[in-house]
Amino acid sequence: MRALAGLGLSAVLGLAAAGCAGKNINRDLGADSRILVRQWTIPTSTLTEAGDHGFEVANPLVHENTLIYGSRAGGLTSLYPTLQQSRWSLPIPGGVLSEVALDRGTLYFGGGDGFLYSVNAENGRVNWRYDLHNPAVSRPVVEGGRLFVTTADDTVYAFDAGTGKWLWHYRRRPSGAATTRAASSPLVDGGEVLVGLSDGFLVSLNVADGALKWERKIHSGNKFTDVDARPVLSDGVLYVPSYDGSLYALKRQGGEILWRFDAGGSKQVVVDGERLYYPSSDGTIYALQKSNAKVLWKFSMDGGTPTQILMTEGKLVVGSSFQYLYLLDKKTGAGLYRFNAGWGSGFYGAPAYDSAARRLYVMSSGGNLYSFSARGEDQRRAPHGATEPYGFL
C-alpha cells in the first residue's frame, strides 16, 4: 500500500463475507481473561434465522443505566444489562435494519418495513415514523433540530427531528454500476451536508434546501463504486474512503484532494491526535499519519471485513464480518485479544462501551448479543504483586 499525493442487503453481507476464508494468521491470539471476561450472551434470532448465519447490522447503545439494541427478529429492546432484565421492547415488522442513533433521549433508525423511526428511549414509544419505502438506510444524524439520513438508492433526506416533518430530499440518478446497497451517514458542518453516494462521489448539499453546492469524484476502484463511509472532518480536512478504491484526504472547502491512500473501505476513520485509524475493506486495520498517510502500523485480521473501530484509552476494539472480535494496542497495533464468535458468524454493527461500568457490548451477525467485562488494574494483579502487562484501558 502506498500513499499518493495530492445488490440487496443479503448481497452486501455476502460481499463482506466474501474474501473472508479464515487464514487464522493470529492463531496465537486468544480470549485472554486478563483483559476481557465474557459475562453473558443473549440470543435474539430464532433457530431458523440462525441457520443462515444472520446479518445483524444494528449497534448496541448505552443509555444511562440501560442497554438498547436492535435486531431482525426482536425489533428494538431496552434492558438493564447487569440484571439481564428487559425494560421495554418495540416490535418492528422486519426488525431493525440500520445502525441506531441516539440524540437527547430519542432513538432514530430504519426498520425492515421501510419506515424511518423516532422512538422515546425511556419507554419505547414511537414518536413518529416516515415511510421511506427503503429498509436500507444510513445511521441517522441529528444536527440543529434536523434529522438527516441517506437511503441505499442514493436519496438524502432532511426532516424536522421533533415532528418528523419532511423538509427536503436530494435524489441522485442511479449510477448503473454494481453497488453494495449500503449508505453513507451524512456529516453536517455549518451550512452544508456532506455525504457519499454509490456513484463514487462525495457531495456537499445546502443544509437549508438540499441544493447541490459541489461534488468530488473519489472512486478509483475496479468493482464497486460506493462511498459508504461517513466523512470525518478534522482541522479543515475531510477523510473519506470509497469501498474498493482508496482513502482520501480532501480540503473541506471545495474538496481538493490532498493525498490518497490506496486501500478501500466502507467505515469511517477514527482521528486520534495526529493519527488516523482506518478499518479497510481488505481486512487490514491501519494506523496512518494524518498529514501524509504514512503507515505507522497495520494489523491483518484473519478474514472478513472490519466493523467500525471503537477507540478506548489505549485500545482499539474492532470486529470482523468473518468470525472474530479483536482488541489492539493503539500505539503499536499489537493484537491483545481475539474472541471467536463461531465460523461465519462475525460482526457488522459497531461495538459499544460503557466506561462507568467497564462493560463492552457487541452484537454478532448471527444475532447473539455479547457482554464483556473489562479487567481493571485492581483485578489483574499477579499473586506476587506485579501488574499484568495488558488491561483494557
Judge whether 87 lies within some domain: no
Type of residue at 182: A
327 domain-assigned: yes
Q: Is the pLDDT of residue 48 over 80?
A: no
Rg (CA), the chain: 20
| DSSP strand pairing (166-171 vs 187-189) | unpaired
Q: Is residue 306 part of a domain?
A: yes
- Between 104 and 23, the more confident residue is 104
Choice among 16-20, 22-26, 322-326 with the minimum mean pLDDT: 16-20
Is the pLDDT reported for residue 376 higher than 70?
Answer: no
Residue 3 placed within a domain: no
Grid cell locating 287: 494506523
Does the pLDDT of residue 11 top 50, yes or no? no
Nine-digit cell at 134? 427503503
Q: Identify whether the C-beta of residue 363 lies closer than 8 Å to the C-beta of residue 344.
A: no
User: Mind listing the pLDDT tens digit for each residue in 121-148?
Assistant: 999 999 999 999 887 789 999 999 999 9
- Mean pLDDT (the chain) is 87
In a domain, 342, yes or no: yes
- Least Cα distance to 8 among 179, 175, 230, 174 occurs for 179
Residue 245 lies in a domain: no
Instruction: Please give the average per-residue pLDDT across 242-253, as a whole number.
Output: 91
Residue 170's pLDDT band, with cuts at 50, 70 and 90, is very high
Residue 74 has pLDDT above 70, yes or no: yes
Find which of 14-28, 49-63, 335-349 is predicted with most confidence, using mean pLDDT: 335-349
User: Mean per-residue pLDDT for 284-312?
Assistant: 96
pLDDT above 60: residue 377: no
**What is the arithmetic mean of pLDDT over 360-382?**
79
What local confidence, expressed as pLDDT, does residue 178 receive?
54
Tell me the residue type at 105: G
Asked if residues 29 and 320 have their Cβ atoms less than 8 Å apart, the reply is no
Q: Is it the case that residue 175 has pLDDT exceeding 90?
A: no
- What phi-psi label fits residue 315: left (phi over 0), alpha (psi between -120 and 50 degrees) or beta? beta
Residue 245 has pLDDT above 70, yes or no: yes
Average pLDDT over residues 217-224: 75
Q: What is the pLDDT confidence band of residue 96, given thresholds at 50, 70 and 90?
A: very high
If one counts the domains in the chain, the total is: 1
pLDDT surpassing 60 at residue 207: yes
Domain limits for position 337: 22-59+302-376
Is pLDDT above 80 for 157?
Answer: yes
Question: In this structure, what C-alpha cell is assigned to residue 114?
Answer: 421501510
Give the chain's length: 393
pTM: 0.89
Q: Is the pLDDT of residue 238 over 50?
A: yes
pLDDT band at 181 (very low <50, low <70, confident <90, very high): low
Average the pLDDT over 268-287 and give the result. 97
Arithmetic mean of pLDDT, 257-270 = 95
Residue 248 resides in a domain: no
| Residue 240 falls in which region: left (phi positive, over 0), alpha (psi -120 to 50) or beta | beta
Residue 368 lies in a domain: yes
Using an 8 Å Cβ cutoff, are 83 and 67 in contact?
no
pLDDT at 392: 45
222 pLDDT band (50/70/90 cuts)? low
21, pLDDT greater than 60: no
